[in-house]
């Protein structure tokens, strides 16, 4: 049984405000001889009768040892833990400003037996042990968006700067004591704040060697790779068959052209999964249902058509865990 979310659709934030005008853009190329169509069979989830199992505003997913799925729920101020089959297990954290409490959890990662949570409106990172007990944390000088494990107790935190201040960075790495050990990717800063806010949205895919891959959600089809120490390790140009969706956005300078590239991204077994944004009501961009499977050289290898648009997802062991447009958890088995 799929449990309906509470208030997610109304609270969901599009790439840009609703004043955006959809200006067209090439569709994803149809699968051909060198582009397969992979199937995504939906898996029925078990009935979860607990009230705590209902997702209010799920913002981030993480997958940990033992096949457990962790969902950061901003409305309930908690991280909700599910089995690989979608059975609700428990919740971590609660609303508040004290130790182990959360104001707006926006990101979650699992690192060496610890659950790490980005508390966006609390301007801090909260850390729990595997049993959900608070084990400390630290403040950060910006509202943290997402958090990722780099190994060795190091944590990568992303920011969503608007570009209004010079020198803002999108990536910040900290050690276990909360000391910043490196930062990278300077935010775009131009005369147009709407364009800057759009361009400074990024997605991060952890690699296998404590490295990370960074995808901009708009205006750039390059996937950038960084080591766990912040060293640039190269870039991947994504196949043009995963096409931009173009927008014209009203601003103080008239219409500003923007190019939506990727709504959500994941990586598993050396392959990237990039979901193309889609038009919403003909005048905005929102989550799509088409996922491009791209190899390490940037070549489009396959296309997956999901049964519903998905806001965010991750892929682990051939299974795709997603949050749909209603804020529900959906599970798909991906077959070639």
How far CA 43 is from CA of 7, 87, 309, 333, in Å, comes to 24, 12, 16, 7
Question: What pTM value is reported for the model?
Answer: 0.90
**CB of 105 closer than 8 Å to CB of 79:** yes
- Strands 329-335 and 78-82 turn out to be unpaired
What's the rounded Cα separation, in Å, for the pair 213 and 280?
Answer: 28
pLDDT at 14: 42
- The separation between CA 33 and the C-alpha centre of its own chain, rounded to angstroms, equals 31
Question: Where do we find the tokens 């569709």?
Answer: 27
Alpha-helical regions (H) of 181-240: 193-199
pLDDT band, residue 251 (cuts 50/70/90): low
Question: Where do we find the tokens 């033992």?
Answer: 66
Mean pLDDT, rounded, of the chain: 88
Please, what is the Cα angle at 64 between 62 and 68, to 5 degrees? 90
pLDDT more than 90, % of the chain = 71
DSSP states along 135-192: EEEEE-SS----EEEEETTEEEEE----S-STT-EEEEEE-TTS-EEEEEEEPP--S-
What's the rounded Cα separation, in Å, for the pair 300 and 238?
Answer: 8
pLDDT band, residue 2 (cuts 50/70/90): very low
Q: Is the sign of the CA dihedral 205, 279, 185, 176 positive or negative?
A: negative
pLDDT band, residue 171 (cuts 50/70/90): very high
- Strands 254-260 and 264-268 turn out to be unpaired
- Please give the residue that has the higher pLDDT: either 258 or 335: 335
pLDDT more than 70, % of the chain = 88
Closest CA to 296 of 209, 185, 173, 231: 209
In the predicted structure, residue 27 carries a pLDDT above the cut 70:
no
The domains located in the chain, with CATH, are 8-335 (2.120.10.30)
Mean pLDDT to the nearest integer, 294-311: 97
């Amino acid at each position: 049984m799929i449990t309906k979310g509470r208030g997610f659709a109304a609270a969901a934030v599009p790439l840009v405000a609703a004043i955006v005008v959809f200006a067209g853009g090439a569709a994803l190329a149809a699968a051909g001889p060198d582009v397969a169509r992979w199937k995504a069979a939906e898996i029925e989830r078990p009935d979860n009768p607990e009230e705590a199992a209902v997702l209010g505003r799920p913002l981030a997913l993480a997958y940990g040892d033992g096949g457990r799925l962790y969902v950061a729920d901003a409305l309930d101020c908690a991280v909700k833990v599910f089995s690989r089959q979608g059975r609700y297990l428990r919740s971590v954290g609660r609303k508040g400003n004290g130790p182990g409490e959360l104001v707006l959890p926006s990101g979650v990662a699992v690192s060496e037996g610890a659950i790490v949570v980005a508390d966006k409106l609390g301007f801090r990172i909260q850390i729990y042990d595997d049993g959900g007990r608070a084990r400390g944390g630290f403040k950060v000088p910006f509202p943290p968006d997402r958090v990722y494990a780099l190994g060795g107790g190091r944590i990568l935190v992303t920011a969503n700067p608007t570009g209004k201040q010079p020198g803002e960075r999108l990536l910040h790495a900290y050690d276990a004591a909360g000391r910043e050990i490196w930062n990278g990717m300077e935010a775009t800063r131009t005369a147009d704040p709407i364009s800057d806010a759009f361009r400074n949205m990024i997605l991060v895919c952890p690699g296998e060697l404590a490295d990370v891959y960074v995808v901009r959600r708009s205006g750039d089809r390059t996937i950038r790779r960084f080591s766990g120490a912040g060293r640039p390790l190269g870039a991947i140009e994504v196949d043009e068959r995963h096409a931009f969706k173009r927008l014209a956005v009203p601003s103080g300078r008239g219409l500003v052209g923007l190019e939506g590239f990727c709504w959500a991204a994941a990586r598993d077994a050396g392959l990237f999964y990039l979901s193309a944004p889609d038009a919403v009501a003909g005048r905005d961009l929102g989550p799509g249902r088409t996922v491009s499977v791209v190899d390490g050289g940037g070549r489009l290898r396959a296309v997956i058509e999901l049964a519903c648009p998905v806001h965010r997802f991750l892929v682990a062991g051939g299974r795709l865990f997603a949050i749909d447009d209603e804020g529900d958890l959906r599970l798909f088995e991906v077959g070639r």
